[in-house]
Structure 1
Amino acid sequence: RVVVPCALEAALDALCWYPARFHVDDKLDRTRVVSSITRSTTIVQAVGKSILGLSPRESCFVNHRMRLEDGYAIISRSVHHPRVAVPPGATRATLVVAAWIVMPVSERETAIIYIAAFDPGGVIPM
């Protein structure tokens, strides 16, 4: 759990505006919305940066945002999409499930909790 110095809506914008998500997440190289299913459900492709000499990881996932009594939940899991190919040099990672729980602490502070289970794919040296 982290508390960030911004209002709830600003935190949601930073987490859910995928065309510019890489500006606030230094592990991402690029992101794009592949398809908008509803206002709260999208299919997204994200390509991470190479870390520790490993090939970049890429994933395609469905992302759903829902209102909770005390904030929002953003739930994601990998999907296959016919318009999404793995970029050359990247390795497909599988997002089994991920969730962001976003709750206001005050008008100017927001608590964010992130949990994820994923398979990075490829070979990871030990």
Structure 2
Amino acid sequence: MIRALLLALLLLCVAPVHAPAQGVAAADPRVEAAIPAAARARPGVRLDPEAATRAYLATVPPAERARSDAYFEGGYWIRLWSFLLSAAVLLLVLAAGWSRRMRDRAERITRRRSLQVFVYWVQLAAVTTLLGFPLDV
């Protein structure tokens, strides 16, 4: 029974998840109109991506540019807090003795070391997912 359960869990973990194919969206005419002529690609002319980017950014109002930059820089803070929360969760798992109990439970379930590692990993993944859920939402 336990072998069948572990096999089903293993297959669930490694089963590929298929997403529907996404079609290429048609170009929005408003976006096309906002791109300066200097930044547009023309047949026979080599496009310089840096010049095109500078030309487009010159059309963005300063307030919108500042807002975009602030949004972009906010991603750094999210990464920092995500790392700190992950470290705190893992330290909690170690300090509270949960890791030892998960190891002991894995040893009780199976005698094979490779399966013990898998059972431990499943438990650790469940605990870290539950404790890290507030930041992931």
In the superposition, the TM-score normalised over structure 1's length comes to 0.22
In the superposition, the TM-score normalised over structure 2's length comes to 0.21
Instruction: Kindly indicate whether structure 1 or structure 2 has the higher relative contact order, using CA contacts under 8 Å at least 6 residues apart.
Output: 1
Q: Which has the larger radius of gyration?
A: 2
- Judging by fraction of residues, say which structure has more strand: 1
